[in-house]
Amino acid sequence: MDKKLTSARLVVAVISTATEEVAIWVIWRFLLPEFNIELPLSVLIGAMIVWAAFSLWLFVFTTHTLKKQAAVGLPSMVGAVGRVASRLAPEGLVRIKGELWSAKSNEGDIEVGEYIVVVSEQGLKLFVRRRGAVSIR
């Protein structure tokens, strides 16, 4: 993620948190007394600290999440190991990383449950071969 974008998000986060803190103060100072609710200053300070801490956590969490690059798509599939979900004769389905993919065997028929490895891709189709005795966790 771009540093300028992160800086812009930080500015927006600071401004919005300050606005929210002012709103908490306005509610404490003007709205609650209208309903005969009197809260001590320590409750106001505590609420503002809790809200600021939540805002900080939210900013850090979303920044971390936005920086993650999802490893998806076919280029990342070459070399991936999976299992045959429906018989490859020579085409069928394979399950890789919990997802079903259309695949074609380079080695003839491969039965359900056998381990495969992706050797190439073309469009949305994976080309696979038998993996041999391998365990996937």
Residue-by-residue pLDDT tens, the chain, 137 positions: 578 888 999 999 999 999 999 999 999 999 999 999 999 999 999 999 999 999 999 999 999 988 886 655 556 788 899 999 999 998 999 999 889 999 999 888 999 999 999 998 888 899 999 986 444 44
End-to-end CA distance of the chain: 31
Q: Are residues 19 and 57 in the same domain?
A: yes
Q: Are residues 126 and 80 in the same domain?
A: yes
Q: Are residues 61 and 116 in the same domain?
A: no
- Torsion angle of C-alpha atoms 92, 97, 99, 104, degrees rounded to 10: -20
Residue 115: inside a domain: yes
Q: Are residues 10 and 63 in the same domain?
A: yes
Task: Name the pTM for this structure.
Answer: 0.52
DSSP three-state, residue 95: strand
Count of domains observed in the chain: 2
Residue 103: inside a domain: yes
Q: Are residues 89 and 117 in the same domain?
A: yes
Output the six-digit token pair for 30. 């003007």
- The domain of 46 spans 3-67
CATH of the domain at 115: 2.40.50.140
Domain-terminating residue out of 19, 36, 67:
67
- Would you tell me how many other CB atoms lie within 10 Å of the CB of residue 71? 9
Between the alpha carbon of residue 125 and those of residues 79, 85, 102, 118, the distances in Å are: 14, 15, 5, 10
